[in-house]
Amino acid sequence: MQKMKPFIIIKDPKVAKLFANETRSEILHNLRHREMTACQLAKILGKNVSSISHHLSLLEKAGLVRRTRTLVKGNIIEKYYQASAQKFIISYTLSEGLAPESEDILKWKREICRGVVDKASLFGFDVPEEKKSKVQRLVEKYASLKHATLERVISRQKESSEIIKPEMRLLISLLTDALLSRNDEYLQVIWEICNEIGVK
Amino acid sequence: MQKMKPFIIIKDPKVAKLFANETRSEILHNLRHREMTACQLAKILGKNVSSISHHLSLLEKAGLVRRTRTLVKGNIIEKYYQASAQKFIISYTLSEGLAPESEDILKWKREICRGVVDKASLFGFDVPEEKKSKVQRLVEKYASLKHATLERVISRQKESSEIIKPEMRLLISLLTDALLSRNDEYLQVIWEICNEIGVK
């Protein structure tokens, strides 16, 4: 395995849209931990090789995967691929719909926040029907602030070839929480959410 | 694929120790998304089949994987396995070293927290040598409170066969942050960390 970046922040909406396809997501998921050929991926994902090769070429053009080595066995050429990063993060600017062509991503984010409000009852926090749209807006604000802060932390990271280990995960979570604890807008939002859903 | 629990919280130190082996971790990782045979796992992980079968039997006894189906092809028997949950969480009580035989897990947690202090400089937060042990203790406290709160949120979850989707991830993060925002001990710890590492 070649060295891999821990994170890549996706700022191009055209690249971000590549993640909407389930097969491509699964390809990326598999290539985070090992290098594989189109043929091996096709077997694992139960797809045909030509479809996988097509997806791989789109992902390679977008810089999300890269070719690690090519083996020639008789008249068969085996090209190995690997993801370019351990984790891809869709930039805050796209999930806010701030960039051109990012409306779909904003819509997707809103759907997730509606899901959060609907599922809170699974954890014993019931949101009354008449409060749902207010709470959804607060959850959207919470998600935006958390996402923007996480991105701010990650983009401070100095050049490093290290993969994500437990300490990196904990460090990033700690720095994100530390920055948010000094953010008045965040404190206000989380306070309102606690009041609305009844966290004591 | 059979239905899978989203989370299992591991409270038995003997079971928790199974995660310390890299091959077993990789087996579990692969079985979270699909069912596979020992033979398929051996190929992907570059190990021999008998070693994989041994690990699978330990994992099955501990309830971390289960057999989904058995195919008979001629005189070959193919047993398919799948993880019992999408995500396994080592209980807070073990990582605090509170349970018998959990000292190793406590030690492992302390090492991670030392790593966090050492790596903070990668993100532009330098911890002076003479403050390192104080900051490490604060990071350990932060990690404990966050872990205990996450576990409290997850154990509130009502019986559900749903897998972890983006909205579940966001909901769990939101509820954890909401509970922590009302926890005075947490607020004190995060305030001290900000002061020590210079978060403005």
Nearest C-alpha in A relative to B195: A178
Instruction: Provide the shortest C-alpha distance from residue A17 to chain B (in Å).
Output: 16
A189 to chain B, any CB pair closer than 8 A? The answer is no
Q: How many CB atoms lie within 10 A of CB B48?
A: 11
Domains of chain B, earliest start first: 5-87 (1.10.10.10), 91-197 (no CATH)
Residues of B in contact with A116 (CB under 8 A): 167, 170-171, 174
Residue-wise pLDDT for B134-143, tens only, equals 999 999 999 9
Residues of B in contact with A193 (CB under 8 A): 174, 178
Residues B193, A182: C-beta atoms closer than 8 Å = no
Residues of B in contact with A178 (CB under 8 A): 190, 193-194, 197, 199
Distances (CA, A) of B106 to B100, B103, B112, B117: 11, 5, 10, 17
| Res. B168: pLDDT tops 80 | yes
Q: What string of DSSP letters covers A152-177? A: HHHHTPPS------HHHHHHHHHHHH
Confidence (pLDDT) at B22? 83
The full length of chain B comes to: 200
Instruction: Provide the shortest C-alpha distance from residue A16 to chain B (in Å).
Output: 16
How many Cα atoms within 13 Å fall on the side-chain side of residue B192?
16
CB B147 within 8 A of CB B183: no
The yes/no answer to whether this complex scores an ipTM above 0.90 is no
Residues B120, A175: C-beta atoms closer than 8 Å = yes
Residue-level pLDDT, tens digit, chain A, 200 residues: 556 777 889 988 889 888 878 899 889 988 987 889 999 899 888 899 999 999 999 999 999 999 999 999 888 889 999 999 888 988 888 877 777 777 888 888 899 999 999 999 989 998 999 999 999 999 999 999 999 999 999 888 876 656 667 888 899 999 999 999 999 999 999 999 999 998 88
Q: What proportion of chain B, given as a percentage, has pLDDT over 70?
A: 96
B166 to chain A, any CB pair closer than 8 A? The answer is yes
Residues B167, A115: C-beta atoms closer than 8 Å = yes
Element (H, E) at A182: none
